[in-house]
Amino acid sequence: MMDRNDFIAKFGGVFEHSPWIAERAFDHGRIAEPLEAEALHEALCAEFRLASHDERLGVLRAHPDLAGKLAIAGDLTEESRSEQAGAGLDRLSPEDHARFTELNSRYMRDFGFPFIIAVKGHTEDSILAAFEARVDNDPETEFETACAQVERIAGFRVAALLAEE
């Protein structure tokens, strides 16, 4: 069995800057070997869902803006950089970048956390369409939508980490 420190070192970043989720999943006995993507993802998501509203909000706030300041400065986590690049967000035209910046600002003002979408399988246009649709959601709906997207991102990250083995 993978020990606690090794498990957290490997899977602590599945939820952006929130290793406490992996810690709790391990400590609560949710982790069983052999590690399988679906079971591991569900174990981590169970801890995320059991967390307080403020803890879940903290996870949302740990995510970077899409095509935002961190991306420009090169300060994204490797996972976020790769995910955003895969959707073409590292190659936006100045006009598209301005639109993302405008939407990011409005979204952050209205919801208090950045717009989150699992970009895998999306294009710049489909992300922008989702962004424009979701920016008009009510806060409760958007909180739940963002949490669901965080769980999707975690699923992609778990699968990628297990594929490395």
- In this structure, is residue 155 part of a structural domain? no
Q: What is the pTM of this model?
A: 0.90
Q: What CATH number should be reported for the domain holding residue 130? A: 1.10.3330.10
- In this structure, is residue 138 part of a structural domain? yes
Tell whether the torsion through CA atoms of 12, 18, 24 and 27 is positive or negative: positive
- In this structure, is residue 127 part of a structural domain? yes
- In this structure, is residue 86 part of a structural domain? yes
User: For position 71, what pLDDT does the model report?
Assistant: 54
Nearest to 147 by CA among 67, 47, 70: 47
Other residues' Cβ atoms within 10 Å of the Cβ of residue 2: 14
User: For position 82, what pLDDT does the model report?
Assistant: 76
User: For position 64, what pLDDT does the model report?
Assistant: 81
User: For position 70, what pLDDT does the model report?
Assistant: 45
- In this structure, is residue 44 part of a structural domain? no
- In this structure, is residue 49 part of a structural domain? no
Q: Which CA distances in Å does 165 have to 32, 49, 68, 156, 160? A: 16, 28, 32, 15, 9
Domain that holds residue 107: 64-146
- In this structure, is residue 151 part of a structural domain? no
Judge whether 114 and 103 are in contact, CB under 8 Å: no
Judge whether 59 and 112 are in contact, CB under 8 Å: no
- Indicate the helix (H) or strand (E) that contains 24: helix 20-27
- In this structure, is residue 115 part of a structural domain? yes
- Please pick, among 41, 63, 97, 122, the residue that the annotation labels catalytic: 63
Give the count of domains, the chain.
1
Q: Is 17 a catalytic residue?
A: no
Structure tokens, 120: 């895998």
Rg of the chain over Cα atoms, rounded to whole angstroms, equals 16
Q: How far apart are CA 85 and CA 81, in angstroms?
A: 6
Q: State which amino acid sits at residue 70.
A: L
For the chain, 165 residues long, the average pLDDT of each consecutive 10-residue run is 94 96 98 96 98 98 74 63 74 86 94 94 91 96 98 97 90
